[in-house]
Amino acid sequence: MMNKGLLIVISGPSGAGKGTICKALLKKQAFWLSVSATTRKPRNGEVDGKSYFFLEVDEFKNRISKDGFLEYAEVYGNYYGTPKASVQERINRGEDVILEIDIQGALKVKENYPEGVFIFILPPSMEELKKRIIGRGSETKESLLRRFTSAYKEINYVSKYNYAVINDEVDKATKKIENIIVAERCRVDRIKDNIIDSKEGTVYEQFYD
C-alpha cells in the first residue's frame, strides 16, 4: 500500500506573504494547492475557480450543511472554507497538498488531522507587515485596520504550529519550507506499511529523493 501524501498547512497573519510564498513553492515543485471557497468579492485579476470559488452566502451555507468543508471560518467578515473531497482524494492518492488558510482554520484542521505539517509565516516586523498590506493595495482603510489589529493577536498562535518561518526574503523563506517538507517526508513515523514496495522489491521512493 502506498503512503499518504502530506497535508501542508501554510498560515499566518494577512500580509505576511503566504500567497507569495505558495506561488514560489509551486514553481519549484509539483504540489497541489487547494482552491478555497469564499463569500468575499473577487479582487482585480482574481479568477473564479483558480484564486477561489466565489460563492454567495446562501450557497456557502448550503455546503456547510452538507459537510462539504474540511474546515471553514469567518475571516474579516467573510466566509472562507476548504472543500473536503478534493483534498482527501489527493492525499489518499499519495499526493502532497498545500492549504493556505487563516489561523482559526488551521487550528481546526490540526484537531482533526494532527499528522498535517503546520507552518506559520511570520513577517520580519509589524511595521513591515503594515507596509506590505498597504503596498498590496487591495484593502479599504477599514479592512486594512481590521487585518492589522487581528495580526497582533494572531502572532501569539505561532506556538500551536510545528514550524515558524520568517518571510524576510521570499527566496529564503521558500527554501526553508522546501527543506521542512524534505525532512517531513523522511519521518519514520509516517511509514504506515512495509518499507519495501512489495511489487518492485525496492525501498519506498520517498527515502531516497
Give alpha helix (H) positions in the chain.
Answer: 18-28, 57-65, 84-92, 103-112, 126-136, 141-154, 170-185
Cβ(46)–Cβ(53) under 8 Å? no
The residue to which cell 500551536 is assigned: 160
* Cβ 53 to ligand ADP shortest distance, Å: 17
Q: Considering the rule CB under 6 A, would residue 55 count as an interface residue with ligand 5GP?
A: no
Binding at 136: pick from ligand ADP, ligand 5GP, none (beta carbon under 5-8 Å per type):
ligand ADP
Among 75, 97, 133, 144, binds ligand 5GP (CB under 6 A): 75
| Helices 170-185, 18-28: crossing angle, 10 deg rounding | 60
Q: Binding mask 10-49 vs ligand 5GP (x if CB under 6 A, - otherwise)?
A: ----x---x-----------------x---x---------
Map the footprint of ligand 5GP across residues 91-110, applying CB under 6 A.
100-102, 104-105
Sole window of 13-21, 38-46, 80-88, 153-161 interacting with ligand ADP (rule: CB under 6 A):
13-21
Which of 2, 1, 8 has the alpha carbon at shortest distance from 183?
8
Distance CA 36, CA 51 (A): 8
Give the bridge partners for 82, in sequence order.
Answer: 71
Binding residues (CB under 6 A) for ligand 5GP: these are: 14, 18, 36, 40, 71, 73, 75, 80-82, 100-102, 104-105
